Structure 1
Amino acid sequence: MRMSEDRPEWFGLASFRGAVPAMFAAHRHDDLEVNASPSPLVYLVDGRETMIPAGSLGVFWAARPHRLVTPVDEVSWLTVPLGVALGWSLPGAFVGSLLAGDLVLVSEGAGLALAERAELWAGALARDPGDAERRAAELEVEALMRRIAARRTHVAPGHPGVRGTAGEMAAFISERAADDIRIDDVARAVHLHPQYAMTLFRRALGITIGEYLLQCRVARAQRLLLTTDLPIAEVGFAAGFRSQSQFYARFRDRCGEPPAAYRRRLAGA
């Protein structure tokens, strides 16, 4: 797993089952994330409160900034790198929905009980590539994703409403990331002094307003690269970057490769 401010962000093909505290900071990683818990899971995704009900599997594209708001005594999660998922040729409507920002929900049931497999997969997926146990787990994960795609319902994140002033600021940033917005604009939107707005935001989401804006812009660029034929230069501008040099540098820092290489690799997955 690699998660830092100046390295590519991903968890890889991995699973986990156990207790999880509330997240200290909003983060992003270029995987599809599957969560399930006997208790409701409350996230801030793009600054909007999003709930995965108890007894449901929830799937979302984790390149969008998100943060688990409340601690849970038991959660099962699975991460699948986007490139791996695309290589499985999952239904286009399912993948397109996730890239568009939907939370996909499906009730746990036959073949969809993540908790039963999470601990077993955690060990198997940590083995070396080519190991027989790892390969069996990979095939089982692929089968799970196909069942989710076949039985899905779609819920657009944010319908339950915005969570507090920091959530309002995060939603404002997410919705206007492509614009030339500044800290003063964010503070004005929630009627706060800029200095207090910055302090409140960092206290609530664990990162600065500028860092959150960058996360949103990189995620938007990733989506445009995968879902449109826009030239690379236009992708950077449409995502909110005001110079090509800044776009290339920030994208490479966060995704581990230049925008064109990212598009070629995943388009051929």
Structure 2
Amino acid sequence: MPESKVRPIYQPGASSVEGLPTSFQMFHNTPLVMVKPHWHAQVEVNFIVRGEVHYRMHTHEMTLQAGQMCLFWGGLPHQMDDRSEDAIYAGAHLPLIHFFRLRLPEHVPQQLMQGTTLFTQATDASDDHNFARWNAYARSGDGVKAQHAVNELLLRLERVRFEPFSLLGGSSESVEGAPSEAFDVQSSRTVGKMCDFIAQNFLNDIDSIDIATAADLHPKYAMSIFKRSTGMTLNEYVSLLRLSYAQALLLREDANVLHIAMESGFGSLSAFNKSFRKIAGMSPSDFRRDAGAFPEQRQGWS
């Protein structure tokens, strides 16, 4: 890609995807280059309207060009580290409660959760128009329009199963789309119910028993079906939401690591440090220090 002058750099903020880990958000803009990987508790959809972008994912790298689309799990660290000067991209961040409404081929959701990227170039001119309209609807302040945007986007993503697609990364590299497979609708509804409860209560002191009770399930069954569907335990998912939220708080000028640990739902500083280091590879204090290295170029996004 061409060399560029100083570019705005992406940093998490209180109103960005990290700070709102249970929200549905859409975007249609010029992407901001990231100086370091980030993560969030939503599935991400990217459609390249113009130019190209380069991603460093958890298990692989990829370049996306105009007319190409991808779907990946944002809960694993990823980084858009380069783009062309004319790049425009569109897409969405889907909380798991929306993701599990999708009728994708049976093998796809869990592989996405494990770090693969669903990639397709079977797009057309209607996608350019639709992503712009969905973004306008989602940001309109009209709840009916916003819900319509969600519903149409999910239908568009489901259409992927009828067209050629690839799963990039790990052992799934370049696996072509297969014919329709059985889809366990009841399991997805059950997982969605658990995700809904977690979304409303992740900052509180909740455990697997609370989550199972909210979904009218036995705790062992709830843990089993959630793990089978997402590749994560219930505790890991709750922790991810808290870490996403904390990641945004750490960028505030008055950030205090102990206060953030408690505000994010962690019972102690040691538990927060351990969980944060596991996903970020560094302590919260080091993350905050490194993220402040480019103050003159910072821009949040929402």
TM range (shorter): 0.5 to 0.7
Identical aligned pairs, as a percentage?
16
Measured after TM superposition, the shift of residue 84 of structure 1 is 0.9
Q: Is the 8 A contact 1:15 1:121 kept in 2?
A: yes
Measured after TM superposition, the shift of residue 99 of structure 1 is 1.6
Cα distance, 1:45–1:225 mapped onto 2, change above 3 Å: farther
1:98 aligns with 2:105: no
Structure 2: which amino acid aligns with 1:92?
Answer: E
- The 5 A counterparts of 1:201-212 are none
Q: Is the 8 A contact 2:43 2:71 kept in 1?
A: yes
- The 5 A counterparts of 1:173-184 are none
Measured after TM superposition, the shift of residue 85 of structure 1 is 1.4
Q: Is the 8 A contact 2:54 2:61 kept in 1?
A: yes
1:77 aligns with 2:91: yes
Measured after TM superposition, the shift of residue 47 of structure 1 is 6.4
In the other structure, the counterpart of 1:140 is 152
1:116 aligns with 2:129: yes
Aligned to 1:92, the other structure's residue is in SS state coil
Q: Is the 8 A contact 1:55 1:107 kept in 2?
A: yes
The number of residues matched between the two structures is: 180
1:62 aligns with 2:51: no
Q: Distance in 1 between matches of 2:47 and 2:240?
A: 31
Measured after TM superposition, the shift of residue 70 of structure 1 is 0.8
5+ long unaligned stretches in structure 1: 160-223, 240-246, 259-269
1:31 aligns with 2:45: no
Measured after TM superposition, the shift of residue 120 of structure 1 is 1.6
Measured after TM superposition, the shift of residue 108 of structure 1 is 3.7
Q: Distance in 2 between matches of 1:150 and 1:94?
A: 14
Measured after TM superposition, the shift of residue 141 of structure 1 is 0.8
Q: Distance in 2 between matches of 1:3 and 1:94?
A: 31
Measured after TM superposition, the shift of residue 116 of structure 1 is 1.6
1:138-190 superposed Cα distances (whole Å, 9 cap, x missing partner): 2211111111233252232379xxxxxxxxxxxxxxxxxxxxxxxxxxxxxxx
1:36-76 superposed Cα distances (whole Å, 9 cap, x missing partner): 22333211112642223442111111111111011342112
Q: TM-score, structure 2 length as denominator?
A: 0.48
- The 5 A counterparts of 1:1-269 are 3=13, 10=21, 12-37=23-48, 38-46=50-58, 48-72=60-84, 73=86, 74-110=88-124, 113-128=126-141, 130-131=143-144, 133-157=145-169, 226-228=226-228, 250-251=239-240, 253-254=242-243
Aligned to 1:70, the other structure's residue is in SS state strand
Cα distance, 1:54–1:155 mapped onto 2, change above 3 Å: farther
Q: TM-score, structure 1 length as denominator?
A: 0.53
Superposition CA RMSD, Å: 3.9
Q: Is the 8 A contact 2:71 2:118 kept in 1?
A: yes
In the other structure, the counterpart of 2:250 is none
Q: Distance in 2 between matches of 1:46 and 1:138?
A: 27
